[in-house]
Structure 1
Amino acid sequence: MNAGKIISFEGKRSGEQGVVLRPGYHGTINACRQLLVKFLPQRMDALFERLDDVLYTQADKAGIDHNQTAYFESMRVLRREREQIQSTFNKGVLGRFDRFWTHGPAAVSRHTLEGSYNSDELGLVESDELEEGLAITGMVSKGNNTYYRDLYALDERFSYLLHGVSMGKEGNPLAPAALCGAFEQAITTLEVTLAVKLVIYKQFEKELIGHLGAFYDQANATLAKAGILPGIKPTMRRNAPYQTSSTASSGYSPAADSATYAPGENPEMQAEVFATLQQLLLQRRPESLAAPTGNVHYVESVNLLSALSVLQHQGNIAEAANAPVMDARSMRAALLKMPQIGQAASGRMAIGRVDEDTIDVISMLFEFILDDPGLSDPMRALLARLQIPMLKVAILDKSFFSRKDHPARRLLNVMAQAAIGWTEESGRSGDGLYARIESAVNRILAKFDDDLALFDELYEQFAAFLEREQRGAHVAEERATQVTQGKEALVEAKRHVADEIGRCLSNYGDVPDVVQNLVRDGWNDVLLLIYLRKGRESDEWSDAVNLMERLVWSVMPKPSHSERQELLRSIPELLKGLRAGLSGISYNQHKMNRAFKGLQARHLACLRGGRALDETLTQQADEEEHIDEVGEVMEEIVLESADAHSAPIVSEPDAFDAQATKLALGTWLELNEEDGAVIRAKLSWRSNISGSCLFVNRRGMKVAEVTRQGLGAWLRSGKAVLLPEISVPLMDRALNSLVETLNSPGSKKPGGGKEP
């Protein structure tokens, strides 16, 4: 672990910008490093000892099932990997500390929470990784809030040592962000379930982040003793004890209700997402919304729920489908005016911190819903009416934020997922999707009080409707795909047959018209049918091509006696094969007889040593063929391209062409037509041959068929706009966006304000 290492302040790599340390303080910095070398192993030992107990307890609670097995297996994995994890973590932390003194804060930030949970990249992570990202973000936020005075002193002293270099947001190598980043990297390849990983992060938070106070005291004391800004002293009392979850409470506790939906889960883990959101809100909340002072009476949660029920009922009566989502400030103001809140005998009424945070989070989530491009305007407005019911759900049960299978969250997700393909042209009346969602929303507004079972009931009903609808859509989509595939296969087959015929005829030069006509008009369809039914690799295809070759050869001059003898022997079999093949495609009998007469004359000429014919016979045969050529002509089918043919093809593929090529099946597009109509279409099928794409609507009916180049032109011009990936549920996308917003500088503050 290089525990006794003395920091080298030399040897910066080429191209990296270094920093200059004030002379005379090398010993002081190494003294701080020794504190770190002593602190890390102690806390990591405590972490692993505690983890063993916690995982055993979780396994005992899980009972005899696969969850218990997972916990026991995780215990074995952790015991096996413990040394490697500790070594990687210790080296990571000490490496950050050492790089800081040679390359400054940028070297720490660059290696902190890599990959990671910053504002620019958080929106790109998969939904299954959201919990892990929130766990890390929560640890960092709570650590920063708890130790902000110590961190301020360390930042100032480290800055002084580097001649005033600014620490930045994550530049301190001893800050929670650096420690959490090193730990995240140390367990990134650990093969355990997400639930176990969250338990590990929880214990890391308790055993290491929760014990940083004493370490920071020692580090600051060491620096102050060395004369580095000894005047920095706390202006307030010592930091409050570190807490791993919010202890503020006002009314209902989520832990009691959570067991109804997730038996065996740790209530602390269920509330962890909300606790993390609270920490992020605390950092962003304007000073005007700080905890009120003076004689304040806090609203009981039961009274708050009663007031929300009145607002919910009023919204249902007014049918405020087009009403905007209420921001948190407006919601609080409206609630405090409600008689159900009650009046204080003295002082004023205020909403408790936990309920106020819940209002903030739900308001921001529904603002995301109103901005979600995956929903059309009518659907956004319809789902936005669920803001108050979902707020009540979140007040009743904080696991709403962490449990993907929460009844209310599940219903909201499935309705939003179904709505992605709906547009106004689909209609609102009857038993369609809009009417179903509207009915569910109205029932929630009218009936929901505090019984979460209503959401289970509505989910089952809506899921049954959706399953019936999707079965019909699947059948229609399969038919559309089969038709398109058939057309594609026919075009490809015609191309191959034409190539084969062209090759055969070109090999013999001047082929008589009677044979050319027979091959192009009759044998062409024989080859086409075999190609479609049996394929180019079949024996039937080879036999048909060989027969065509023998046919053309048979009418060419035969100067040698041996060739004429060979022709004489092959004619019966040749004519038999031709007749069988043409009969198989129901070739016109009159045209077949005339063609065979022409062949007979030419064969006779070849058997005489040439192929010259009486001019009158030739002219007569050609005239008869011209007169009777009124048969069936197969319709030429050309792939429709829906404006793609008119779109210019760029000489060099660009990013839009690449996007069109890589577009995954199941992706939804919004198509803006020239007449102003908006159509939503899903990529159902792409040809492996031509790259042509088939798009269908939510009922499985064909909407458009376009070439790959045409699709690129649509994306380039804005006619086609990609919609969000529906595999990521609406609530997951909303939570992701919320964390990104709260992490972003200059983002909208909770309570309706904006950063100055």
Structure 2
Amino acid sequence: MNTAQNSSHVDRFQSSQAARKFYLEHLTELLRDSRLISDSAISAMIGGCGIYFDEMMNKRRQGSFEEEVRGLTSSRISLVGDDDLELDIRLDNLCNRLIESTSVPLWKTHLRFATILGRPDLPKNDNPVGPRGVTQGLHDLFSAAGASSLEKKFELLERIEVSLLTSLPGIYGQLDDFLQSIGVEVTQPPIASVQPPSRTPAAKPEPRLSASPVMPGAGEHPASATHALLSQGALDNLMFRLDQMERGQQNSLDFLTATSPKLETLIPELFGETGSNEETAPLVLQSDALGIPANSLEGQAIDLTGRFFNNLFSDPAIPGVLKETVAKLQVRVARIAVRDRSLYTRADHPCRQLIDRMATLLFGLPPTVPASHPVCRQLIETCDRLRQDNAGDASAFALAAAELEAQIGARHQKIFEAAAPYHPFLRQLDRREQADREIGEYYARLHLDSLPELLRNFLVQDWKRLLERAWFEQGQGGPAWQERTETLNALVWSFRPKADGEQRRALAQKLPGVLQAIKDGMETLGIAAETQTRILDACFELQTRALRPNGSEPPPPVGASVALAEVHQGHGIRQLSIGLLEAGNRALHTIDYQLPPATEGRNPVFSAGEWMEIKVDDVDQQLCLCLQSASTGRCLFFNPETDLALAIHPQLLAEQLKKGSARHLGQPGLFATLLSRISAS
């Protein structure tokens, strides 16, 4: 921007006098509103601030970068008494705190006074309304108030400094608006002015706002001489530009609701599910567009932040409402990146935690979810509160991240409650697995592999249904279970050759009762009469052979594994690897083993509230883990947005996670995921 052209449109003297009057009047109001000091003391302080204003306006010499970074202390080096030196140190400390708390609005006024004076190189310490003038006025206040001792001066200072720290930023903001209203434009000093970091300790500058970030893939240490550092003035101007950019971005995003109630609450029909879901065009951050050298540390921070957000905006899997909400924070994140080197290296940085939790809060929602969704409204409101925070530092992000963490916990609790009706389904699956395991172990001890196929199928499939019914009704200790197993034990015993007459007599006595119990069981099962006859004939043939004195021993069993496998090939939904349990208007998808694995306490343990992406009917579904069974480890997942519930065996889930057919959502977090894409590109 051309300073000469800007300054020609305004009368410098009139503008400076108007600014002087506006500043001193508002400073007077600040002091009177505090009700901490007398009117005479206020007049003395305002007089001192006015003298400082006039001195800076009449000061014509140009400053240097070294003067800027030395700050206040270099201007007050003199031979003074201990009390005066202690007071100067205290006032310098207050001045530094005022500069820090008013950095952006103060810098705006500085750029406008540079226009009034026609001095684009005006040192920041020569700002006529800067905190140095306030501390100079405090000396006059002490004299007017009769504070002769150091203790009384400190007492007065303690009474007024809180009011100054709280209200002075607002005065600078109002002064900036006033100067703009009378036609004073801002001067844009050459922001590309850089200073290479010196290797000599003597040339080390004072602590700065900037802390160089470590860039992924940069290939160089931050202290490398190839990385330039912006001068303090250029850095302040960069922060001013980012602030203006953020303000302009907020105006464009919020112009409909900036001074009025939310339109969603006034006209909800316009923001329903059928409303437009178009995304706002994202802002693009680039160092060259801001006039920042790309090889400077600040330029690298700006470019890395721009690339990070461009990756976020271009990811189709990220919901549009999340993109729009995070877009509002882009400039604020860039400001933190310029100041804080740890943003791109610290996994627990508050800014990173906030973006990760923003993504976590929206897990399970479709990419096209509207902003009117209750969860989205929570996210947007939290983001809006963060944007209203004037500091915008890492602590503000930490508070917002904690707020989101509470919202995530509350949402999980609602999902757990919504999944509670599926708990009986899970208990049913657990009982069926336990029944399968115990019945299978019982059959394995019988060694039925050598029996004819017809008879073996009847025992391991049909008779097993009677055992299951007895198990579910009364368990293994119940009379029905005892009756069914005793009948089966006696039948299998009747097939074995009898070595002596006593055993044959015992068989002859038991046989009618055993066959009648088998006949009754087949009637209960509803087996066809023809099939019953064939089964009884097969039994009679084996028992007749066993009664013969020279009856041969049947072939030795080939092992329990075949019988056990056949037991578990029976009928029923519990045997399916992929199934569905239904009751009323609820349905539970199941993904399970056909054979229950021997866990022996080795089941993987997962945490309630984990979100995973799992294939259900060949479709990737985002589901929240609501419960893991204590007895079998079986996991119950649910997503209220799709009304889909799933039960899956923990070992099977662990296998899918290992193979990649299922995955944890949020591991790694969204921030780290996008950052890794930048490193890989």
What is the TM-score with the length of structure 1 in the denominator? 0.38
Q: TM-score, normalised by structure 2?
A: 0.42
Q: Which has the larger radius of gyration?
A: 2
Higher relative contact order (CA 8 A, sep 6+): 1
